Amino acid sequence: MAFSASPAVAAGPDTETGRVPALIAQRAEMLANNPEWATPVGTLGCQSTYFKGYFYSVESISLNCSGTYTNNLPATRFTAGGWSGIVYYGNTGANWAFCDGESWNLGNEYPIPQVVLYATKAPWC
């Protein structure tokens, strides 16, 4: 499925109402309807660009190989670099299905229990 508007920078969840931007919600629904897309991915390759997570202005996550990474490091924003995949954030299973070149400001600090980096372009990109 192609998206009509894939912003380079997505706003984070609205903490007052619990709403997320439409694109993020659309991708989350696609993941819910295609659970096989969210299965763990093994390391199949690396590249020179990094997926990065930041805790305010300090880099807290830096990954450059495909795979499924489990941690609970806090983050406030992400940059995808040349990767597509899924970031699970908070303690509710909320996710951001991202594409190459995107970044996302969460607006607040969230624990990041899991990051999945795809070896090939994700189906929603």
**What's the CA gap between 32 and 48, in Å, rounded?**
31
CA atoms within 13 A on the CB side of 117: 25
* Tens of pLDDT, residues 15-69: 444 444 566 667 777 777 877 776 666 666 899 999 998 988 788 889 999 988 9
Report which secondary-structure segment, H or E, holds 25: helix 22-33
**What's the CA gap between 67 and 63, in Å, rounded?**
9
Q: Hey, what's the torsion of the CAs at 72, 75, 78, 84, to 10 degrees?
A: 10
pLDDT of 3: 28
Domain spans in the chain, listed from the N-terminal domain onward: 18-117
Length, in residues, of the chain: 125
**What's the CA gap between 31 and 112, in Å, rounded?**
18
* Distances from the Cα of 20 to the Cα of 39, 100, 115, angstroms: 23, 20, 19
pTM (predicted TM-score): 0.69
The pairing of strands 85-89 and 94-98 is: antiparallel
Q: Is the pLDDT of residue 105 over 60?
A: yes
